[in-house]
Chain A
């Protein structure tokens, strides 16, 4: 199963992608990694720092939005690119607790691409499929 696939046909100035996962955990990990990959080549990032993340929302879809939003927020607030995620869901998938690892931003070391400004709600979608889960996300670049 593909982890994620960028979609060039939508919102051409921005970054649209489909993320996939056999489980909801896998979907969240892959969607998070795709967001990071818009900003930096993940192979140039060593996961030597850890952030604990706890989030809650009233639906799985809104929780996915919060999760991606947190990755974008930490890029500026903590100056960190996150590439390695361990996630557990609580309260019937309305809460998540995650360990996210990455590295403080270092332009000399990292293969930096573009700044992600925000996670948009344009066509934002999370759905269950026969193979597991699929999401569609557009990030504002």
Chain B
């Protein structure tokens, strides 16, 4: 399959490259990164370009790699009047996302207590397969979580007003409807609120060295306001509940496709018209799972604050632990864009991609409306993460989207063959990163060598202008599922 360069950082696969492509596919990458895109990216994004109602183009971010259905790093917008919705364009882990917390602490204050802190976090935050949650819920309360997300946390003492104001959609998708969710999904997730899960999910303590603050004017507005400041990132999703919602609707959509006369190139791309009973039910159920994920990260953040209070003997206010922002990177949202000179409402699917709104978007909290949305990008546990800011150019080129992480280049099994979990833990310790993990093989699967270079993928979106660098976050402590 042939791609050609449209301009610096943009590569296009024209619709004549595969039968059935309705729009071109674009891969956003530097010269260096385009060569490392695997064949699955090309196969999968051109399949996405065949879906009914797709608008303008199918897109892959620089961290893109071979997934199922959409590639990871895939973005596509569909007309809400005659386009589709596809669970395979969102992923099973609905609203997997990342939250960033800032603190008043500095490296000097935290370093002597690092082991105590990580051990404490590892003890109080359930991780790994089968981890039972921090909050006990009956069916009615679980439905409240589905309906209200972080609003439920606010009403029940797990969140502050400031948290609620610092989350994509306030962590509260208002179109959630628990009647669209199966008993099976409830059974699978009811005991998991406040659990990290496994795989690439993590809770990381990071330092922001002064020389890695790239935008010194903007950084204080995102709470980065002192040298060697300590921040945290929490990366997890909707756990078994969201996984089951997606599984249920994949089956519903597989059956419904015939009814709507739809065919797809990959069964994982099963879809239904957005404006159909099945499409609407999934959109409402997806919102339940997304709210559950926002609440999950909130409950974990609440427990993190308590742990810090305990270890440092200071109050939450003295420690200044507050949410910078919380972004979803597996989700579909109704948003409006100018397409061919006219305003159009589209359903933007982001699978392993982050919203990257520029200034003046109404959906941003008032304190960020003048500057743009904070974009939090989780790198591998050895190389660090980034805080970026969204841009107007993203609104024009990528339906307000950017990358979500480093992007894998090596399979999990290969990573395990390359390094042992306990050796990696030791290496990281020597490099100044204290890590605790629920699974040693799981730790090895997440080694830095299994990922693209985070600096390269970030530079690609920065140079392209779909988001801009604010600061790099260097890991010093980590708990892994």
Contact = CB atoms under 8 A, between A and B. Distances in A.
Interface residues of B, number: 50
B414 A14 contact: no
Contact of B187 (A9, A77, A124): A77
A97 B195 CA distance: 33
B129 A75 contact: yes
Contacts of B149: none
A88 interface: no
Contact of B198 (A12, A13, A114, A120): A114
B189 A14 contact: no
B247 A69 contact: yes
A116 to B, nearest CB: 8
A137 to B, nearest CB: 11
B439 A121 contact: no
Interface string A101-135: 00001010001111101111111100000000000
B188 interface: yes
Contacts of B445: 114
Contact of B267 (A6, A76, A111, A121): A121
A53 interface: no
Interface stretch (B139-147, B238-246, B291-299, B459-467): B238-246
Contact of B130 (A69, A107, A111): A107
A138 interface: yes
Given A73-B188, A140-B92, A141-B199, A117 B243 contact: yes
B111 interface: no
B199 A115 contact: yes
Interface string B253-271: 0100000000000111010
A39 B130 CA distance: 10
B211 to A, nearest CB: 32
Which of B72, B130, B192, B439 neighbours the largest number of chain A CB atoms within 10 Å of its CB?
Answer: B130
A55 interface: no
B65 interface: yes
A76 B267 CA distance: 25
Contacts of A111: 441
A76 B189 contact: yes
Given A105-B129, A114-B129, A13 B243 contact: no
Given A76-B240, A112-B128, A121 B246 contact: no
A54 interface: no
Nearest to B352: A13
B247 A122 contact: no
A123 B130 contact: no
Contact of A12 (B66, B188, B254): B66
Nearest to A15: B412
Given A105-B130, A122-B266, A124-B267, A113 B247 contact: no
Contacts of A114: 129, 198-199, 412, 439, 441-442, 445
Size category, A interface: 35 or more
Contacts of B200: 13
B92 A6 contact: no
A40 B72 CA distance: 25
B481 interface: yes
B130 A75 contact: yes
Contact of B197 (A6, A11, A72, A115): A115
Centre residue among A15, A73, A75 by max chain B CB count within 10 A: A73
Given A77-B184, A112-B438, A123-B266, A8 B413 contact: yes
Interface residues of chain B: helix, strand, loop or mixed (majority): mixed
A74 B427 CA distance: 36
Nearest to A16: B411
B268 A122 contact: yes
B128 A107 contact: yes
Contacts of A40: 129
B70 to A, nearest CB: 10
A10 B129 contact: no
B228 interface: no
A121 B86 CA distance: 13
A117 B199 CA distance: 10
A113 B439 contact: yes
Given A76-B189, A79-B130, A113-B442, A12 B410 contact: yes
Contact of A8 (B198, B239, B414): B414
A12 B129 contact: no
Given A113-B439, A121-B254, A122-B267, A140 B192 contact: no
A121 B129 contact: no
A137 B246 CA distance: 17
A6 B129 contact: no
A69 B185 CA distance: 12
A112 B129 contact: yes
A115 B246 contact: no
A120 to B, nearest CB: 4
Interface in B177-234: 184, 187-189, 192, 197-200
B387 interface: no
Nearest to A40: B129
Nearest to B131: A107
B267 A10 contact: no
B88 to A, nearest CB: 8
Given A10-B66, A15-B412, A140-B93, 7 more contacts: A11-B67, A12-B408, A39-B129, A107-B438, A120-B92, A122-B69, A123-B266
18 contacts: A8-B411, A11-B40, A12-B66, A12-B409, A13-B72, A13-B412, A40-B129, A69-B247, A105-B129, A113-B439, A114-B129, A114-B442, A120-B69, A120-B88, A121-B270, A122-B67, A122-B268, A141-B412
